[in-house]
Amino acid sequence: MKISIVATLYQSAAYISEFHQRASAAARAQVGDDYEIVFVNDGSPDASLALAVQLSAQDAHVVVVDLSRNFGHHKAMMTGLAHARGERVFLLDVDLEEDPEWLAAFCAQLDADGCDVVYGVQEARKGGWFERWSGQWFWSLFNASTGLGLTPNIVTARVMTRRYVEALLLHDEREVFMAGLWHITGFDQRAQVVNKKARSGSSYTLRKKIALLVNAVTSFSNAPLIGIFYLGAGISLIAGAYTVFLLLNWLLWSKPISGWTSVMASIWMLGGLVIFFIGLVGVYLSKMYSETKRRPYTIVRRVYGR
């Protein structure tokens, strides 16, 4: 098998037929008949599964991996990569915001550069002002917190060699953040500028982006814990200096301190910091709890077409 095209399905019924036609044409132009298209149904509530299964009955190149429920986009992508058999794997979203025809350009650069991954980077981030703004602060905060230096505005679409995919699948963690895993897997990765379309609004709301940011940062960095140590040390030094001042004031000047405001402010500030710090440590503990249980990050109900 020379090429595997992997895409996940969630509320994707409107795009499957056109995606199949365009992806098949792109694969045939690249490698002839030696390809497969792997659809991963991530518990889609619409007719995505039925349409994909119908395609698998009509086209021997189509494989449908049906998950037992919705596990999330990133975990579904990892499952699709695990089921792909091609020497090269083309991963992209099914909603046609990323063109299947990018396969030719990505493979051409892969051959020319002799690298292991060619991935797409948006020339300009798509969507309205909120999507652009939220995407910008997401990558800025992630890079500042982890120090990984991920390329902003990367897209899902990428062509990967077999050895890179096998190395990527060695990551067996329960909390999956694909952009981080792509980066830390290493190998020679090259970017290609693409123009991603905006067919619909992003499914990542502000709440989802905040949750994804917390998950991503705590999965790839212990910087928040180190920051807590330094902040706590700084507060302790300030509190110690203020205590010395109060003692000297009481010993030398004997002036009573009207400290209601400062006391209440200190109580609220320190109380809030303590609760915040406990919560942050709790996030890391919850990740340890999740990892030690070793539950599978996805469960496959059935595979069609293979």
Same domain, 160 and 88: yes
The pairing of strands 189-194 and 300-304 is: unpaired
Same domain, 74 and 193: yes
* pLDDT classification of 33: cutoffs 50, 70, 90: very high
- What pLDDT is recorded for position 107? 94
**Number of independent structural domains in the chain:** 2
- Mean pLDDT value across residues 277-295: 71
With a cut of 90, say whether residue 163 has pLDDT above it. Answer: yes
Judge if pTM exceeds 0.75. Answer: no
Same domain, 21 and 97: yes
| Domain carrying residue 300 | 3-221+295-304
Q: What is the CATH number of the domain that holds 160?
A: 3.90.550.10
Percent of residues, the chain, with pLDDT higher than 90:
43
Same domain, 166 and 272: no
Same domain, 120 and 244: no
- What pLDDT is recorded for position 296? 83
Same domain, 157 and 286: no
* pLDDT classification of 197: cutoffs 50, 70, 90: confident
Residue (of 188, 180, 192) closest to 160 by Cα position:
188
Question: Are 60 and 119 contacting, i.e. CB atoms less than 8 angstroms apart?
Answer: no
Query: Token pair of 290, please?
Result: 């999740």
Per-residue pLDDT reduced to its tens digit, 205-214: 666 667 666 6
Same domain, 200 and 252: no
Question: Are 116 and 187 contacting, i.e. CB atoms less than 8 angstroms apart?
Answer: yes
- What pLDDT is recorded for position 184? 82
- Mean pLDDT value across residues 243-249: 69
Same domain, 79 and 63: yes
Same domain, 137 and 262: no
- What pLDDT is recorded for position 82? 94
Same domain, 181 and 67: yes
- What pLDDT is recorded for position 186? 87
- What pLDDT is recorded for position 256? 55
Same domain, 179 and 65: yes
Same domain, 163 and 51: yes
Residue whose token pair is 């910087």: 223
